[in-house]
Amino acid sequence: EEEAFLVSLYQFMKDRHTPIERIPHLGFKQINLWKIYKAVEKLGAYELVTGRRLWKNVYDELGGSPGSTSA
Main-chain dihedrals φ then ψ at residue 30, nearest 5 degrees? -70, 135
State the pLDDT at residue 70.
66
State the pLDDT at residue 2.
95
Splitting the chain (71 residues) into consecutive groups of 10 residues, what average pLDDT does each group show? Answer: 96 97 83 94 95 91 73 60
In a domain, 67, yes or no: no
Separation between Cα atoms, residue 6 and residue 52, nearest integer Å: 26
State the pLDDT at residue 69.
65
State the pLDDT at residue 71.
60
| Residue numbers of the domain that contains 22 | 1-62
In a domain, 46, yes or no: yes
pTM to 2 decimal places = 0.79
Find out whether 43 and 57 touch, Cβ atoms under 8 Å.
yes
In a domain, 43, yes or no: yes
The CATH number covering residue 25 comes to: 1.10.150.60
